[in-house]
Structure 1
């Protein structure tokens, strides 16, 4: 029975949580992913009021990314215990490898830990506290990065991830952030403010703080409109998946997990790409970009059934052999990975003090900013200005020197040594006057600065490569 509600926000939150409990088997327990922020605080508090403490368990993931993480853990444990709710936490190590988004790595680690806690405590439903504003931000981010229908579908109200024990549900997905905050203030709840949420270097925070307030003034119903867009995209994606299931039965190869080379290529490119996306999901592989899928189909058509086909993606390699197309464990030490990059036309810039150089075909930008002479990545301005800058793709065999008097090393070896996975190495190399100057994820080629080091410079620069969006 829903407890009495004193405010409109109370009624909205309690009704949403009550509906989520009604969808569960009688007496089934739910786990709440409890970060301690206002959203998950409201969800846990309302779950206890509606279902009772005995039906709830709070799971907190300690990422260790903030100096305050220990205090947050203590706060969450105390909050749960005040309400008589069982509490469990899990400490994760977040990868900080070059080329890997810390935010994405933290998110992946968080969900793996939550799944492990669900299995450990025999919980079959995990509640997440995302709301309508989160959904709107997600749809906009996906639109801005040119995502397909599966991306625009954004966050599902309920789903069971492949390989996960517990279904994930979002009881608050139809409610606004402001409504949750009204509930929290009316209940005099205490919550955590994560300082990273104010950092507008990340796209989601930039949308939240700089873009959405303006949209709310001119398009007050934008959240509902974007939610409808997500629902339409999800419906269309289900139809595409149904088509892919039919095609998979026709194109399935003789070997388990493989496709028939000829049957796959009998489909037109759009239908074949749709099948490849679905097939990769069934194998548990991360989604590939349209450019990568297009290149895979191009190579399959041009190379035919040659054993030399190899396209690296997420630690796996797409191969074709004896009429079968299949994925096998990739190894970045294999020389074949040097041939897996998409061909792009060179871009040339005669640098005249520009602070940014946008490269649309690479979906990113070179940024030139002032640096001090003692910055380890500082480059004399003369080195950048002495010839046209050329951005081009790797051709294989390029070498550079990371230390002034150190040996010349291949980029492949440097990527491997830095722990950069093969699918992250498709970055533009920056040349000046025909000489390699800078490589994203590796740094400056000291050999290119040898003749500039003999004379002092009045100004130094730092070069950075920034992808179009840093998703949080």
Structure 2
């Protein structure tokens, strides 16, 4: 087998180290710029050698007058290389509070992470890593943020893994490879616009640093590797602390025995595991203040960006900030699945457990809706009915989750409430046909049920 040139050899080593094997499905994130152009060229050459499957994906942001031409260029490249290309058009909010760069990055990330593949492969290089580390440090990032980009991140759940096989190469090396092989690529004019922070770092600050400190980009990349090592240790500590505090839903008393730094580290780690950005330090300090200051019997909820930190009945947990939009009354006509606040309600045939099928068939009106004023329900035959508030208190459901609970109303009566259960009058007998209801919510109720 022929000896590979330095850059392809580096990419092959990175793929093998990440665990790419025969039959692995790789998808190249192809913008058409020089980095992804070179990456596609190298991956195409390695395809037969390593026996992986190769596709490509291009995200059309529509922000440049040349966006259509870039997509057409990528199509031509992939046709010539025998690589299937998917082009996704996204709408980017130009008035996003975080800025146009951040909005475009989020839109691109959503599309890429939905790709049907085992590994997404990016053309990020050492200069990109240096920019990322510097950008995050200047924004006050902690160890995790300063760790920059990993050379590879394993697939997790339904999401593909991420590979950056050019991360040890400089931009100049990649451009030299492109010229040597006569490759063409597109130039994004927005990369020259210094109104964007990362462009200003690339064109002004990093060159000045290289002049005063030769090799600064590689030094920053090495620092990122050191930060990443420290980040791994912090993650291992957080996992141990979570286990000691009772699991994902933390025991408040145990949590408060940790130092402030370990509490904050644990909550940051849990937020990252939920796919959220790292919470602002000020918000974390507010959580810790309330954890220490609020009486144990009282609950609280503090916003941490896209997540809320909740404390109730001695438990502390993170949950996505859920909107009540869509929690409106609707008729139920026997559908097997009904969406509810980002989650889903599932109805399935059962026997002797759940709602009485006969009672449902005899009903005049079946509706799904949130609780209503004065709503009551009896969970045990022969016992008094209970108010919705009392039912939630007994089930351990905090106040802020109660308005999210779906209610199946049968002829004006509450027959079933998510997180609480089935009313005695509508429960199926042991030998009776029934309808089982399963609620898979975006935000699980604290009490379950």
Aligning the two structures, in what range does the TM-score lie when normalised by the shorter sequence?
0.5 to 0.7
Compared with structure 1, are the counterparts of its residues 315 and 166 closer, same or farther at alpha carbon in structure 2 (3 Å cutoff)?
A: closer
Look up the match of 2:310: 319
Q: Contact 1:162–1:284 (CA<8 Å) still a contact in 2?
A: no
Distance 1:166 1:302, change over 3 A: same
Q: How does 1:341-356 map to 2 (within 5 A)?
A: none
Q: 2:22 aligns with which of 5, 26, 31?
A: 26
Count of residues in correspondence between the two structures: 321
Q: Structure 1 residues 107-116 or 73-82, which shifts more?
A: 107-116
Which residue does the alignment assign to 2:291?
A: 300
Q: Equivalent of 2:272, from 278, 281, 304?
A: 281
Distance in 1, matches of 2:257 and 2:182, equals 63
Kindly indicate whether residue 200 of structure 2 is the aligned counterpart of residue 206 of structure 1: yes
Partner residue in 1 for 2:282: 291
1:238 aligns with 2:236: no
Aligned residue for 1:146, secondary structure, equals coil
Measure how far apart 1:89 and its partner are.
Answer: 1.4
CA displacement 1:112-152 (0-9 Å, x = unmatched): 212222x2xxx211110000000111111122112111011
Once the 2 structures are TM-superposed, how far is the Cα of residue 304 of structure 1 from its aligned partner? 3.3
Larger radius of gyration: 2
- Corresponding residue of 1:403: none
Matching residue within 224, 229, 237 for 2:218: 224
Q: Is the 8 A contact 2:297 2:314 kept in 1?
A: no
d(CA) in 2 for partners of 1:300, 1:54? 51
Corresponding residue of 2:159:
165
Structure 1 SS opposite 2:114: helix
2-side partners of 1:101 and 1:137: how far apart? 18
Distance 1:60 1:262, change over 3 A: same
Cα distance in structure 1, aligned partners of 2:135 and 2:320: 31
1:170–1:73: structure 2 CA closer, same or farther, 3 Å change rule?
same
Moved more, 199-208 or 18-27: 18-27
The 1:33–1:331 alpha-carbon spacing in structure 2 relative to 1, beyond 3 Å, is: closer
Output the CA distance in 2 between the equivalents of 1:161 and 1:187. 33
The aligned counterpart of 2:37 is: 41
How far does residue 34 in structure 1 lie from its aligned partner after superposition? 0.3
TM-score normalized by the length of structure 2: 0.67
| Equivalent residue number for residue 55 of structure 1 | 53
> Secondary structure, in 3 states, of the residue corresponding to 1:310?
strand
1:32 touches 1:44 (CA, 8 Å); kept in 2? Answer: yes
Aligned equivalents of 1:177, 1:144: Cα separation in 2: 22
Change over 3 Å in CA distance of 1:218–1:327 after alignment to 2: closer
Higher relative contact order (CA 8 A, sep 6+): 1
Asked if the contact 1:38–1:184 (Cα under 8 Å) also holds between the matched residues in 2, the reply is: yes
**In terms of mean alpha carbon deviation, does 91-100 or 318-327 score higher?**
91-100
| 3-state SS of paired residue (1:19) | helix
Question: How far apart in 2 are the matches of 1:275 and 1:2?
Answer: 49
Q: Does the CA-based 8 Å contact 1:306-1:320 persist in structure 2?
A: no
Q: TM-score, with normalisation over the residues of structure 1?
A: 0.64
Which of 82, 85, 90 is 2:83 aligned to?
Answer: 85
Matched, 1:183 2:173: no
Structure 1 position 139 matched with structure 2 position 137: no
Q: Give SS of 2:9's match.
A: helix
Residues 50 and 332 of structure 1, relative CA distance in 2, 3 Å threshold: closer
Query: 1:234 Cα shift?
Result: 0.8
Q: Secondary structure at the match of 2:198?
A: helix
Unaligned ranges ≥5, structure 2: 326-449
Q: Is the 8 A contact 2:299 2:313 kept in 1?
A: no
Give the Cα separation in 2 of the matches to 1:3 and 1:49: 13
4+ runs of 1 displaced by more than 4 Å? 1-4, 161-164, 331-334
Partner SS for 1:200: coil
